[in-house]
Structure 1
């Protein structure tokens, strides 16, 4: 149970913050970037759920994902340690399996993709395309943390690495969000297709400046 009695603490005023194992590190640490981007992705998904007019089953899937993302962030901020006193939240393979099953299920609802598509159509679709890009950034940030800290469990004298399942989860989630963005546009006839430059012969005229 989380019990926050005060939001500001002043403990970060010197540019450091606490990780999940209570060790302190710089606010520019690559691990912080990874879970900050993950938190941002969660917020963008929240906007899609709140304002996107999405179907009930999509909302249910996205709400589950939002809960997962809190755990992904908790995992990223807690170095891998041998025999921790308090076992931390860790991403599980089952969560990734769920995402892959969701991808397979929702993909049956849309036509095969024969063109790149533009973010747009419905508000829900646009927000989900936005969420896709933020999750992809979170995955890149998590990979940067993996490259810096590795994926090994540390003893009490070392700095633990990153759970490799975090990057896998974020990768599959970006795929799912892209598919859901397409599903969200079914109500308006489907995807907004990209028209390459050579095919955009009839460009809108620019209005004259006053």
Structure 2
């Protein structure tokens, strides 16, 4: 892709529409634009998680593996955004889904089975991983809403689904590697 932004503001969106890569103009609340926006939000929060992991990797060298697995995800999310903006463009491939599944399997083996539901917390990194997980689920819902109107081709739906699973397991791995106990959900006391 050789396109570069030479001007940040274009004024073409001032009336509530935006342009897609295929030349169409759609309302800014179109399901395709909503999906693109959710993927962008996830990518931004993933950047924050990666920055935090980088800061902590000196104290916890085992976090470098998490960085290595998650860093390409930012690029693939950008690819997914490109696919959503330009429906004929295909950048993601099944190998990316396989890569996420391999990391999920490896990390799941390390952390073991869940004993109970866990809450997003324990450290800022664990909580941020859960923020990313919840945004991945939101992005997946927006992509599914778009898919119901304009069927999506390729592996984007599978990728975003696996990414949310990966981020859940990443939160557990981060907790383990930081030596932080997972916060187990405690059900409210039943009224007598």
Q: Corresponding residue for 2:128?
A: 127
Once the two structures are superposed, the pairs formed by residues 170-181 of structure 1 within 5 Å of their partners are 170-181=160-171
Residue 85 (structure 2) aligned to one of 74, 77, 82 = 77
Q: For residue 79 of structure 1, report the CA deviation from its aligned partner.
A: 2.2
Indicate yes or no: 2:9 matched with 1:8: yes
Q: Corresponding residue for 1:27?
A: 28
- Cα distance in 2 for residues equivalent to 1:63 and 1:104: 18
- Cα distance in 2 for residues equivalent to 1:2 and 1:45: 24
TM-score normalized by the length of structure 1: 0.81
Indicate yes or no: 2:190 matched with 1:182: no
- Cα distance in 1 for residues equivalent to 2:92 and 2:3: 19
Q: Which runs of 4+ in 1 moved over 3 A?
A: none
RMSD: 1.5
Q: 1:50 to 1:17 in 2, by over 3 A?
A: same
Aligned length: 181
C-alpha contact 2:120 2:127 (8 A) present in aligned 1 = yes
SS of the aligned residue for 2:39 comes to helix
Q: Corresponding residue for 2:60?
A: none
Indicate yes or no: 2:59 matched with 1:59: no
- Cα distance in 1 for residues equivalent to 2:34 and 2:94: 23
Q: Looking at secondary structure, tell me which structure has more helix per residue.
A: 2
Deviations 1:93-118 (A, max 9, x none): 11111111111011111021010001
Q: For residue 2 of structure 1, report the CA deviation from its aligned partner.
A: 4.4
Q: Greater CA radius of gyration, 1 or 2?
A: 1
TM-score normalized by the length of structure 2: 0.89
Unaligned runs of 5+ in 1: 81-87, 151-161, 200-210
